[in-house]
Amino acid sequence: MGALAQSEALAQGSLRAVDLMQATLARIEAVNGSVNAVVSLRDTDALMQEARAADAAPRRGWLHGIPMAIKDLSDAEGLETSMGSPLFAGTLAQKDSVFVGRLRAAGAIFIGKTNTPEFGLGSHTFNPVHGATRNPYDQGRSAGGSSGGAAAALASGIVSVADGSDMMGSLRNPAGWNNVYGMRPSWGSVPGEPEGDMFLHQLSTAGPMARNPRDLAALLDTMTGADPRQPLGLTPAPVLPTLYGDAPKLTIGWLGDWGGAFPYENGIKDLSATAVAQMADLGHRTLDLEAPFDADAMWESWITLRSFAVAASLGAIYDNPAQRDHLKAAAQWEIERGQQMSAMQVQRASVIRSDWYRAAALLFDSVDVVVLPSAQVWPFPVDEVHPTQIAGQAMDTYHRWMQVVVPASLIGLPVVNVPAGFGANGLPCGLQLIGRHGSDAMLLRLAQQWHEATCWPQQRPPVLG
C-alpha cells in the first residue's frame, strides 16, 4: 500500500497502527539483511507501544501511525545521527531537524534511520559505520546515493514513504536505480537548519521519496514552508490537490547527451529517449533540444561551489589532526580544494551560475519541462567506490560520473525522478523531469500522469525475501 492508502485505511479503522507496525517489522526482518537499507532500528517493544498509543489517540495528521525511517544525515530526537562517520557513531540527536519535526507533528512514527554515504558525499551508499546498502534488484550492485537507504527501503517494501536530500542527485540517482520516485523541490521550499551560514551555501535541499507521485506530493506538502528563522524561504501552495483532473498539454524538451558532453553507458540514452516518446503518446509535444549552456563552464562552477560548501561544513574536522584521518578520501579532497580557493574564484563560479540561471529562464520560455536521464551509468558493483570511466571516457573526479544532475542542482530547479523502465540487464533506469523554479506542482502532475500510464514500481517490484 502507498502511504496515502495506508492513511485512509487507518482513518477509517480498517487498518490499525499496530498491524502496520507489525507488518513493517516483519518486512524488515525478512529483507533488510539483504539490502541494509534501514539502520539504527529502534527497539521492537518501544515501537509497538508507540503504535498502540497512536491507535488510542486522536489523529494528528495524515501520517498518523505510519512508520518512517529518517535519512541518517538529519536529526530525529532520540535516534542516532552518525552521518555514516565513525566520528559521530552512537551520537543521539537532541532535537528534530526542522522538516523532521513537521513529519512527527503529522503523526509519523520513526522506526530508525536510512543508510547514507559518509557525510552524504558520493552517489553510492556505503560507510564504515553501517556498511553498504545493496540494490534490491541486484544485491551485488549499488543502490545509489546519498539517499540510497531510503530508496532501497521503498523499493523493498519496508516503508511506504521516505525523506531524502539532494545536493548532486542524491534524491534522483537512487530513485532511478531503485525504480521509485524522488523529488528535489524548488530551492527554498524545504528549509534546512537555522544554524551557521544561511546565505552562501545554497546547493542542497531535502525532499520526498515514494512509490507513487500522490505520496510524493503529500510528503512534500508536509515538508515545505518557510522557517521564520531563515532567509530566502518559500511557502508554496499545497500540490496534492493539483494532481487530480485533466493534465495540461506540455512542451517537453529532450536534452539527450547535452550536445555530446555527457557520456552514457550502453542502453541508458536509448531507454530514456523511448520514455520521452511515451510522453508524446500521452498527448504532450516533445522535441529535441540543443545544449543550452556550456557544460564545461557549468561543471567548473559546480565543483568550485561544492568544494567551497563542503570545506565550510567539514573544515573544522579536517583541521583537527586527531579527526582528519577518519574522513574518507573524497571528503578530504573536497575540503582541501575548498580551503585553497580565493574569494574571487568563488565569485567567478557564482557569476557562471547566474549566467546559467538566465539562460535557463530563456529556455523555459519555449518549453515547460526539460528531460535528462537520472544517471549516466547503470548500478555498478557494490564493492566499487565509484565509476572511473564511462564508455571509454575517463572520469577525473569521484563524482564526474554524475554530471548529468548538475544543470538542475547548480541553480536550484525542481526535479522529479520518474522510473523509466528496465535495461536488458534487468536493472532500472530513471528520468529527470526538470522545470523552472516554482513549477513543482506542474512536474508532479506530469509525474502522476506518467505513473498512471506506466506504474513501474507496482508493475515490476524486486524479488526479495
Report the distance separating Cα 153 and Cα 30, nearest Å: 12
Give yes or no for a contact between 395 and 387, defined as CB atoms under 8 angstroms apart: yes
**How long is the chain?**
465
Residues 6+ apart with CB under 8 A from 399: 122, 123, 168, 330, 386
Which residues are paired to 174 by β-bridges?
Answer: none
Instruction: Given the residues 142, 156, 165, 170, select the one marked as catalytic.
Output: 170
Q: Is 146 a catalytic residue?
A: yes
For 3, half-sphere exposure in the C-beta direction (CA atoms, 13 angstrom radius) is: 34
Q: Which residues of 232-246 are buried (b: 16+ CB within 10 A; e: fewer)?
A: ebbebeebbebbeee
342: left (phi over 0), alpha (psi -120 to 50) or beta: beta
Q: Is the peptide bond before 366 cis (omega within 30 degrees of 0)?
A: no
Burial tier of 276 (Cβ tally within 10 Å: 0-12, 13-18, 19+): buried
Distance (Å, whole) CA 380 – CA 43: 34
- One-letter identity of residue 247: A
**Is residue 170 annotated as a catalytic residue, yes or no?**
yes
Burial of 54 (0-12, 13-18, 19+ CB in 10 A): buried
Please state whether beta strands 181-184 and 415-422 pair in parallel, antiparallel, or not at all (unpaired): antiparallel
Phi, psi for residue 306 in degrees, rounded to 5: -65, -50
Strands 109-114 and 67-71: parallel
| Single-letter residue type at 369 | V
Question: For 248, which DSSP code?
Answer: P
Tell me, what DSSP letter sits at residue 31? I
- Give yes or no: 97 in active site: no
> What letter represents residue 233's amino acid?
G
What ranges in 364-435 are assigned the alpha helix state H?
Answer: 406-411
Q: Which of 82, 85, 97, 146 is catalytic?
A: 146
Amino acid at 237: A
Separation CA 194–CA 99 (nearest Å)? 12
Max Cα-Cα span within the chain: 62
**Of the listed 7, 40, 71, 113, which one is catalytic?**
71
**Contact between residue 186 and residue 202 where contact means Cβ atoms under 8 Å apart:** no
Q: Which residues are annotated as catalytic? A: 71, 146, 170
